[in-house]
């Protein structure tokens, strides 16, 4: 009975069993949930002046959760999106307890009733083609380190891969020896255990083939100057350093996700349909990809021109289209 009241055993089951085995959540999601409670429990412990290991489930009250969310925004400087992300983890934990112990159903309902905070959709940051080409020109390709950095930047631009997908890429995930018989491909392991394949440009294939020559299938594709696999922090630092060397990007924050947006935007501007872009980026819902349909004023101007008042209508009326009428009558 004591274990049903104490917070610790519930949290241990939630983090080590439920989200791993039952939900099979992505590694980054599990880390986010862990970080949420690493911040939340000490916060409540200080409020109640009670050791963390003695906290009860009901100590995680609505009032304390709201105070914690306010602390994230006001004291830690987190955005509304981060606040909502932490709240989602707390709600999932409450749902886990409420579904297994009827005595906590009321408490669960109160926690899950805490509303998410509305956040403004940030405009998509991306690079024009000359800016992206300037970024690619920064690494010194006369040195081994410069060639490694160039290969990583080119790969991110080619595939629109997430940072985790690039850092976890193994040599076995590359299919580079197809020549004229097929496409050179890379298999990316994305969020939620999903995989997708992306074609590689000949230039990308050439530089990657040089980088992985002689490596075992289980080795990482992208390695740092120390010979260890690139980390998320290492990729961020690389892109920051390259962006700082491009005068046109002065004052702008360039991250790996900006490179991912750049890939999507350039695909849209090249006339690739939005569903293909969705599959390219590994989005589950096309609604996530629709933000790229509004990226460029040129596309909007073209759309306005199609419905401009006073413009002559092109094409024949369907009534005069004999081929169409014959087709309809044949059905």
The SS3 assignment for 286 reads: helix
Q: Which of 83, 86, 104, 162 is catalytic?
A: 162
The one catalytic residue in 13, 191, 196, 232 is: 191
Residues 158 and 93 in one domain: no
Active site residue 260: yes
Q: Are residues 216 and 146 in the same domain?
A: yes
Asked if residue 157 and residue 217 are part of one domain, the reply reads yes
Is residue 292 part of the annotated active site? The answer reads: yes
Mean pLDDT over each residue of the chain, to the nearest integer: 85
> Is 119 inside any structural domain?
no
Predicted local distance difference test score (pLDDT) of residue 301: 59
**Residues 95, 233: one domain?**
no
Q: What is the pLDDT of residue 171?
A: 94
Domain count, the chain: 2
Asked whether residue 240 is assigned to any structural domain, the reply reads yes
Q: Tell whether 213 and 155 lie within a shared domain.
A: yes
Q: Does residue 185 sit in the same domain as residue 45? A: no
Same domain, 167 and 35: no
Tell me: do 105 and 166 sit in the same domain: no
Q: Is residue 307 part of a domain?
A: no
Q: What string of DSSP letters covers 35-71?
A: HHHHHHHHHHHHHHT--GGG-BGGGS-HHHHHHHHHH
Q: 15: domain range?
A: 2-112
Backbone angles phi, psi at 9, to 5 degrees: -60, -35
pLDDT given for residue 180 in this prediction: 45
Q: Please check whether residues 261 and 215 belong to one and the same domain.
A: yes
Q: Which of 86, 205, 266, 283 is catalytic?
A: 283
Q: Which of 161-170, 203-212, 306-315 has the lowest mean pLDDT?
A: 306-315
Residue 162 within a domain:
yes
Give the pLDDT confidence of 141-187 residue by residue, as tens digits: 999 999 999 999 999 999 999 999 999 999 999 998 765 456 789 99
Is residue 243's pLDDT more than 80? Answer: yes
Domain membership flag for residue 227: yes
State the catalytic residue, choosing from 260, 261, 266, 278. Answer: 260
Question: What is d(CA 21, CA 133) in angstroms, rounded to the nearest whole number?
Answer: 44
Residue 297 in this model has a pLDDT that exceeds 60:
no
- The catalytic residue among 64, 91, 232, 257 is 257
Residue 269: exposure state from Cβ atoms within 10 A (0-12, 13-18, ≥19): middle
Percent of the chain with pLDDT over 70: 82
Please indicate, yes or no, if residue 233 is contained in any of the structural domains. Answer: yes
The whole-angstrom separation of Cα 204 and Cα 215 is 18
Q: Which of 85, 112, 139 is the last residue of a domain?
A: 112
SS3 232: helix
Concerning whether 162 is annotated as a catalytic residue, the answer is yes
State yes or no: is 236 an active-site residue.
no
Domain end marker among 87, 112, 137: 112
Cα dihedral value 62, 64, 66, 67, nearest 10: 160
Q: What is the CATH number of the domain that holds 48?
A: 1.10.150
CATH number of the domain bearing residue 152: 1.10.443.10
């Amino acid at each position: 009975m004591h274990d049903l009241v104490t917070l610790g055993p519930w949290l241990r089951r939630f983090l080590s069993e439920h989200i791993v085995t039952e939900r099979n959540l992505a590694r980054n999601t599990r880390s986010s949930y862990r970080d949420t409670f690493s911040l939340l429990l000490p916060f409540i412990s200080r409020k109640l002046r009670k050791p963390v290991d003695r906290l009860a489930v009901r100590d995680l009250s609505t009032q304390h959760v709201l105070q914690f969310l306010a602390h994230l925004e006001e004291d830690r400087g987190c955005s509304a999106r981060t606040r909502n992300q932490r709240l989602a983890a707390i709600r999932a934990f409450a749902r886990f307890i409420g579904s297994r112990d009827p005595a906590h159903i009321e408490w669960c309902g109160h926690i899950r009733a805490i509303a998410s905070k509305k956040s403004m959709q940030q405009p998509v940051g991306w690079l024009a083609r000359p800016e992206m080409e300037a970024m690619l020109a920064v690494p010194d390709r006369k040195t081994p380190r410069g060639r490694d950095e160039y290969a990583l930047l080119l790969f991110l631009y080619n595939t629109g891969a997430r940072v985790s997908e690039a850092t976890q890429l193994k040599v076995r995930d590359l299919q580079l020896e197809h020549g004229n018989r097929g496409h050179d491909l890379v298999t990316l392991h994305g969020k939620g255990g999903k995989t997708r394949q992306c074609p590689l440009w000949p230039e990308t294939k050439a530089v990657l083939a040089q980088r992985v020559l002689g490596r075992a299938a289980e080795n990482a594709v992208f390695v740092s100057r120390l010979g260890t696999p690139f980390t998320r922090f290492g990729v961020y630092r690389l892109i920051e350093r390259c962006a700082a060397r491009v005068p046109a990007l002065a004052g702008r924050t360039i991250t790996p996700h900006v490179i991912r947006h750049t890939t999507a935007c350039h695909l849209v501007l090249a006339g690739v349909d939005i569903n293909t872009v969705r599959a390219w980026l590994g989005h589950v819902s096309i609604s996530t990809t629709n933000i790229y349909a509004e990226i460029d004023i040129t596309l909007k101007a073209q759309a306005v021109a199609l419905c401009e008042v006073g413009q002559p209508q092109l094409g024949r009326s369907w009534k005069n289209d004999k081929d169409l009428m014959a087709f309809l009558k044949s059905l």
